[in-house]
Structure 1
Amino acid sequence: MAGIATVMMFITTLHLASLVRALNVNYYENTCPHVDSIVAASVHKATMNDKTVAAALLRMHFHDCFIRGCDASVLLESKGKTIAEKDGPPNISLHAFYVIDNAKKALEEVCPGVVSCADILALAARDAVTLSGGPTWDVPKGRKDGRISMATETRQLPAPTFNISQLQQSFSQRGLSLEDLVALSGGHTLGFAHCSSFQNRIHRFSPKQDIDPSLNPSFGSRLRSICPSHNKVKNAGTSLDSSSTLFDNAYYKLLLQGESIFSSDQALLTHPTTKALVSKFAYSQEEFERAFVKSMIKMSSITNDGQQQIRLDCKFVR
């Protein structure tokens, strides 16, 4: 029965990835022509006050799109016995939801009931990248907001401990290629990792080795000093790369030097195709940005045909 359930989940996810709604960059041209600038203003204000917001919004969008497509289900609050995605274990550390709420409130004042929370989140993720020194792009719009959000489904998110086979399967189920995997992993150029996400690499890695041998020895020792085996410091961890508030290709350069954080990062060097792409993006910021934009648009276009709406409050179903 477990095998059948796994196959059915795989088929369902494939179906989800194939149902790509016809999105349009000019979707709100007549109904809410200033949507881009209104969302950008909200993101800009937040990032000026908190440098962690950019990484938070980019991660939030990724986590939203990988569950039921980009339908803003990650924004919904738990209600009664229904535990929502945002309260699932992989999403506990998500934050900056207020940025989306503020943008939604501003949009409701000028074009009520028109702009979906899912579109706001897609725009905010783009703005987060741009305001961090990364590229900009035209975001296709027209997503609808989903009605379902379940914490149990967050188990479908790719974990930081995944190997290359698990990563490839997770991405391919959503219609994303190996190039998309490597390009989108570059989002780790922004943000912070808690000790729990990489403890497996620095303590009891194997029966014979305490530290993952693929880590640069001095870097591994530094991680151990930050995250001792009996760490009691709340929110202890480290930046994902050496310029964690700047969108650049440092992530790939450090990966090649044995200074990656997650097992899933290191896994990109264990397959000839992904390893070649890592080297390509480490060598050229321009190539990385070009691939990232292409993959973000592709990922952001994953939608589904379930019961959907335009929420008036991003936290609650109408």
Structure 2
Amino acid sequence: MNNRILIIFFLLLSGTVMAQTTVTLQDQCNCEVLSGTQVTAAGMLTPAGADMGDIYVNTDTGTIYFWDGDSWELTSSDDQQLQVFGFNPATNELTLTLENGGTFNADLSNLTGDGNITSTTIDVGGDSNALLGNVTLEIGADAVTNAKLADDAVQTENILNGTILNEDLADSSVDTDKIADGTILTGDIASAGNDLVLVTDAVGTVAWVSRASFESIADQVTITGIGTAGDPFKVEDLSIVTAKLGADAVTNAKLADDAVQTENILNGTILNEDLADSSVDTDKIADGTILTGDIASAGNDLVLVTDAIGTVAWVSRASFESIADQVTIT
């Protein structure tokens, strides 16, 4: 009786031991199972040194990753793609449609911004709320500073007529090309003092000189006047005599047409180069003045004759031998 009880007790004990045997994840995958909080997302590279297929369990989230040889990756993933999304302004609902046909509706009715669009240089109009509002932005007065302007950005159409002031111009920036003809008035010319005259000197420099220096010029005979607007200097008629003219001062431009007559030409000074081609005709040649040396020769043993139609020509002297037979004509 006691032996039977012992056998039954032994069998019960053996069954209990066998029922409590635990098969681990490491035993099932034939891999090393790591755990901790280092791996928090797919693609992480640490902890390194794992073998292909090793498992990592994040003890905070319970997420399981596996080592693919380069990084820790999720053991499963959902790659559903977002197909369509739409927003219903009447209900303020955002609807998302997934690849598998599933949808998700998000109620945005209570979604509000937590700040405002503000600026000291931009005028904000409409709804200034930072989210889901219609906002208008305009550049404020005087908001565009020099630093905001690109080089060469300001052109003539950007400048209001009549607004460029003296202080806007750099020194020496206005040259003669910028000054319209006839626009410099007497009031625009800076005076250098009393009783002065604006002249150019011997080297062309513009300068003010004393009006008194002109008294010797205005002898009140050839030149009269005192050099003022009311009594300007002027040259009296017929007062320019030979002594007043410099050598070679009278140029061709100063000679009127037909002004030069025979008394103005010094005898013997008209040269060949002064004569135009074909300008000397028979009327200009005095009788008996053409000498043999003046006649251009055309060659040897020639005779100057006129032909049957009166043309003057040189012919061979031999053509006259049959005419002079030395009997009738010798």
TM-score bucket (shorter structure): under 0.3
Q: Which has the larger share of strand?
A: 2
What TM-score do the two structures reach when normalised by structure 2?
Answer: 0.14
Point out the structure with max Rg over C-alpha. 2
Question: What TM-score results when the alignment is normalised by the length of structure 1?
Answer: 0.14
Question: Which structure dedicates a bigger proportion of its chain to helix?
Answer: 1
* Higher relative contact order structure (alpha carbons within 8 Å, sequence separation ≥ 6): 1
